[in-house]
Amino acid sequence: MPPRPLAQLTLALIKPDLTANRLKANRVLGHIQQNDFTIVERKTLLWSKTDAEAFYGEHRGKFFFERLCGYMTSGHFHALILEKPNAISDWRALIGPTHPPRARIHASDSLRSLYGMTDTRNSFHGSDAVETAKKEIRFFFPEFDFERWEQEQRKGNTLES
Protein backbone atom coordinates (compact mmCIF):
# COMPACT_ATOMS: atom_id res chain seq x y z
CA MET A 1 0.00 0.00 0.00
CA PRO A 2 1.49 3.38 -0.94
CA PRO A 3 2.05 5.83 1.91
CA ARG A 4 -0.77 8.27 2.51
CA PRO A 5 -0.09 11.90 1.59
CA LEU A 6 1.40 13.85 4.45
CA ALA A 7 -0.95 16.30 6.05
CA GLN A 8 -0.38 20.04 6.07
CA LEU A 9 -1.42 22.63 8.62
CA THR A 10 -3.08 25.98 8.10
CA LEU A 11 -4.44 28.67 10.33
CA ALA A 12 -8.13 29.43 9.96
CA LEU A 13 -9.91 32.33 11.58
CA ILE A 14 -13.66 32.55 11.93
CA LYS A 15 -14.04 36.27 12.46
CA PRO A 16 -16.25 38.21 14.92
CA ASP A 17 -19.26 38.87 12.67
CA LEU A 18 -19.70 35.15 12.11
CA THR A 19 -18.73 33.99 15.60
CA ALA A 20 -21.41 36.30 17.06
CA ASN A 21 -24.04 34.05 15.49
CA ARG A 22 -23.59 30.62 17.08
CA LEU A 23 -25.84 28.89 14.51
CA LYS A 24 -23.77 30.20 11.58
CA ALA A 25 -20.49 29.45 13.34
CA ASN A 26 -21.65 25.87 13.92
CA ARG A 27 -22.61 25.56 10.25
CA VAL A 28 -19.09 26.64 9.31
CA LEU A 29 -17.63 24.00 11.61
CA GLY A 30 -19.84 21.51 9.78
CA HIS A 31 -18.45 22.70 6.42
CA ILE A 32 -14.94 22.20 7.79
CA GLN A 33 -15.68 18.62 8.79
CA GLN A 34 -17.57 17.84 5.55
CA ASN A 35 -14.49 18.92 3.64
CA ASP A 36 -12.29 16.42 5.50
CA PHE A 37 -10.34 18.90 7.62
CA THR A 38 -9.27 17.85 11.09
CA ILE A 39 -9.40 20.57 13.73
CA VAL A 40 -6.09 20.06 15.55
CA GLU A 41 -6.46 23.01 17.96
CA ARG A 42 -9.12 25.63 18.56
CA LYS A 43 -9.32 28.79 20.65
CA THR A 44 -11.91 31.48 21.13
CA LEU A 45 -10.30 34.89 21.54
CA LEU A 46 -11.17 38.50 22.21
CA TRP A 47 -8.44 40.80 20.97
CA SER A 48 -7.19 44.13 22.19
CA LYS A 49 -6.22 46.75 19.62
CA THR A 50 -2.57 45.88 20.32
CA ASP A 51 -3.20 42.21 19.45
CA ALA A 52 -4.90 43.09 16.17
CA GLU A 53 -2.18 45.57 15.21
CA ALA A 54 0.50 42.96 15.95
CA PHE A 55 -1.10 40.30 13.75
CA TYR A 56 -1.99 42.66 10.89
CA GLY A 57 1.22 44.72 11.17
CA GLU A 58 2.19 44.06 7.55
CA HIS A 59 -0.86 46.11 6.54
CA ARG A 60 0.00 49.14 8.69
CA GLY A 61 -0.32 52.30 6.61
CA LYS A 62 -2.81 50.78 4.18
CA PHE A 63 -6.23 52.41 3.90
CA PHE A 64 -8.04 49.45 5.49
CA PHE A 65 -5.69 48.84 8.46
CA GLU A 66 -7.64 50.77 11.12
CA ARG A 67 -10.97 49.42 9.87
CA LEU A 68 -9.62 45.84 9.93
CA CYS A 69 -8.22 46.19 13.44
CA GLY A 70 -11.50 47.69 14.64
CA TYR A 71 -13.42 44.81 13.10
CA MET A 72 -11.17 42.18 14.65
CA THR A 73 -11.55 43.74 18.11
CA SER A 74 -15.36 44.04 17.84
CA GLY A 75 -16.08 40.65 19.40
CA HIS A 76 -14.92 37.10 19.99
CA PHE A 77 -13.54 35.03 17.15
CA HIS A 78 -12.24 31.50 16.65
CA ALA A 79 -8.69 30.56 15.71
CA LEU A 80 -8.23 27.00 14.46
CA ILE A 81 -5.37 24.87 13.29
CA LEU A 82 -6.70 22.79 10.41
CA GLU A 83 -5.02 19.67 9.07
CA LYS A 84 -5.31 17.67 5.87
CA PRO A 85 -3.23 17.11 2.74
CA ASN A 86 -3.18 20.46 0.89
CA ALA A 87 -4.83 22.20 3.85
CA ILE A 88 -3.67 25.66 2.79
CA SER A 89 -5.01 25.61 -0.75
CA ASP A 90 -8.10 23.60 0.19
CA TRP A 91 -9.06 26.01 3.00
CA ARG A 92 -8.50 29.04 0.78
CA ALA A 93 -10.64 27.44 -1.94
CA LEU A 94 -13.38 26.65 0.59
CA ILE A 95 -13.49 30.21 1.95
CA GLY A 96 -13.30 31.75 -1.54
CA PRO A 97 -12.31 35.20 -2.76
CA THR A 98 -11.58 37.88 -0.14
CA HIS A 99 -14.37 40.16 -1.37
CA PRO A 100 -17.75 38.49 -0.64
CA PRO A 101 -19.66 40.15 -3.52
CA ARG A 102 -17.02 38.79 -5.93
CA ALA A 103 -17.23 35.42 -4.18
CA ARG A 104 -20.98 35.36 -4.88
CA ILE A 105 -20.21 35.71 -8.60
CA HIS A 106 -17.07 33.59 -8.97
CA ALA A 107 -17.39 31.03 -6.14
CA SER A 108 -21.04 30.94 -5.17
CA ASP A 109 -20.68 27.92 -2.90
CA SER A 110 -17.68 29.35 -0.99
CA LEU A 111 -18.00 30.26 2.68
CA ARG A 112 -17.40 33.96 2.00
CA SER A 113 -20.17 33.90 -0.57
CA LEU A 114 -22.49 32.33 1.98
CA TYR A 115 -21.47 34.29 5.10
CA GLY A 116 -19.24 37.27 4.24
CA MET A 117 -20.57 40.81 4.11
CA THR A 118 -17.88 43.20 2.84
CA ASP A 119 -14.19 43.22 1.94
CA THR A 120 -13.40 43.96 5.62
CA ARG A 121 -16.16 41.87 7.17
CA ASN A 122 -15.37 38.83 5.09
CA SER A 123 -15.76 36.37 8.00
CA PHE A 124 -12.61 34.27 7.42
CA HIS A 125 -8.84 34.17 7.24
CA GLY A 126 -6.61 31.50 5.76
CA SER A 127 -2.83 31.27 5.58
CA ASP A 128 -1.42 31.68 2.08
CA ALA A 129 1.76 29.54 2.29
CA VAL A 130 3.48 26.95 4.48
CA GLU A 131 5.83 29.46 6.14
CA THR A 132 3.00 31.95 6.68
CA ALA A 133 0.90 29.18 8.25
CA LYS A 134 3.71 28.32 10.69
CA LYS A 135 4.18 31.96 11.63
CA GLU A 136 0.45 32.55 12.08
CA ILE A 137 -0.08 29.33 14.03
CA ARG A 138 2.78 30.33 16.36
CA PHE A 139 1.10 33.71 16.86
CA PHE A 140 -2.16 32.13 18.04
CA PHE A 141 -0.86 28.84 19.45
CA PRO A 142 2.65 29.48 20.83
CA GLU A 143 2.42 26.21 22.76
CA PHE A 144 1.85 24.14 19.59
CA ASP A 145 4.72 21.68 19.06
CA PHE A 146 5.40 21.56 15.31
CA GLU A 147 8.24 19.09 15.76
CA ARG A 148 6.06 16.60 17.62
CA TRP A 149 3.24 17.00 15.07
CA GLU A 150 5.69 16.35 12.19
CA GLN A 151 7.08 13.28 13.97
CA GLU A 152 3.55 11.92 14.40
CA GLN A 153 2.91 12.53 10.70
CA ARG A 154 6.01 10.57 9.69
CA LYS A 155 5.27 7.82 12.18
CA GLY A 156 1.63 7.48 11.01
CA ASN A 157 2.77 7.40 7.40
CA THR A 158 5.28 4.65 8.12
CA LEU A 159 2.71 2.52 9.97
CA GLU A 160 0.31 2.59 7.02
CA SER A 161 2.86 1.72 4.35
Catalytic residue among 31, 76, 106, 125: 125
In angstroms, the CA 139 to CA 81 distance is 12
The CB density around residue 9, as the number of other CB atoms within 10 Å, is: 24
- According to the annotation, is 38 in a ligand binding site? no
- According to the annotation, is 112 in a ligand binding site? yes
Q: How far is CA 25 from CA 32, 51, 139, 142, in A?
A: 11, 22, 22, 24
- According to the annotation, is 4 in a ligand binding site? no
What sign does the CA torsion over 140, 107, 34, 91 have? negative
Whether 125 sits among the annotated catalytic residues: the reply is: yes
Q: Residue 64 CA to chain centroid, in angstroms?
A: 20
- According to the annotation, is 98 in a ligand binding site? yes
- According to the annotation, is 121 in a ligand binding site? no
- According to the annotation, is 122 in a ligand binding site? yes
In angstroms, the CA 13 to CA 15 distance is 6
Catalytically active residues, by annotation = 125
Binding residues for ATP: 15, 64, 92, 98, 112, 122
